[in-house]
Amino acid sequence: MSRIQARFTALQAQSRKALIPYITAGDPRSDTTVPMMHAMVTAGADIIELGVPFSDPMADGPVIQAACERALANGVALSDVLAMVRSFREEDTETPVVLMGYLNPIEVMDYSVFARQAREAGVDGVLTVDLPPEEGYQLTTALQEEGVDAVFLLAPTSTEARIAKICAAASGFVYYVSLKGVTGAATLDVEEVRNKLALIRSATSLPIGVGFGIKDASTAAAIAEIADAVVVGSAVVKKFEQYASAPNKIEGEVVSLLTSMRQAMDQIGH
């Protein structure tokens, strides 16, 4: 059983939902990422989504774009991100790590080289934002051969036919983008999300994570009521931006945000 599957199975047995925070690797510095990953696990993160910085993050909003720019200024490349995961695995062999990023750095490394190195480093899943399944066959196959899950996005605009196609290509979990827009945008409509999730559940038995627009404990709890996992990105990365001039405060801020989300999520249904 993969680490992702094991984690969801364990959570299900406890009637709990997964909390998946996102950070951009190498922001604010290369050596802060691994300690931050451990701190997030302690604060209640079930899966870590680790962003691979890219120069042109077209699907992200200003907060994550700025995080990419800070990481790139530190010279962080895909190979460095894999090294961070390897280092994280020295102490934590249970928390799944999903890489989230764009295709071009993976193309440059070569799909099969990347898939093998990702598995060796201890990566559990890869979400390539700009790679729909239509174009993703080769990378998905390379990942599957190494036992790494290919995580795909679903959107409010996805038709039923597309939902079926994407769920067939996906493994680990699927990631529903809760609103039309970029990461960190606007507020989400929980009812609309609930309706779409019903449609997705009829197409797959994979766990469903929901992200985009989850800002605080109450939105996290609202999504935890209807989804299997809550993904929180820009709200976390905003702390990196706010405390850029006092980087030693970032960890405490992130931990307190995640702790409040964890508590609110664990209170639902109790």
Helix (H, G, I), strand (E, B) or coil at 163: helix
Closer CB to other proteins, 44 or 51, in the complex:
51
From the CB of 241, what's the least distance to other proteins, in Å?
13
CB of 113 to other proteins, least distance (A): 13
The active-site residue out of 27, 31, 46, 49 is 49
What's the gap between Cα 18 and its chain centre?
A: 11
Question: Cβ(150)–Cβ(111) under 8 Å?
Answer: no
Catalytic residue among 27, 31, 46, 60: 60
> Interface with other proteins by CB under 8 A: which residues?
54-59, 61-62, 65-66, 69, 72, 77-79, 102-109, 129-132, 134-135, 152-159, 162, 166, 177, 180-182, 185-186
Least distance to other proteins, CB of residue 91, Å: 27
Please indicate whether residue 60 is annotated as part of the active site.
yes
Active site residue 91: no
Longest Cα–Cα distance of the chain, Å, equals 49
SS3 165: helix
What percentage of the chain's residues is helix, strand, coil (to nearest 5)?
50, 15, 35
Taking the least distance from each CB to other proteins, the nearer of 39 and 169 is: 169
- Structure-block tokens of residue 144: 């599957």
Q: How many CB atoms lie within 10 A of CB 203?
A: 18
Structural contact between residues 99 and 126, judged by C-beta atoms closer than 8 angstroms: yes
When computed from its CA atoms, the radius of gyration of the chain, rounded to whole angstroms, is: 17
Least Cα distance to 240 among 26, 20, 18, 19 occurs for 26
In the complex, the smallest distance separating the C-beta of residue 13 from other proteins, rounded to whole angstroms, is 31
Q: Which residues are known to be catalytic?
A: 49, 60
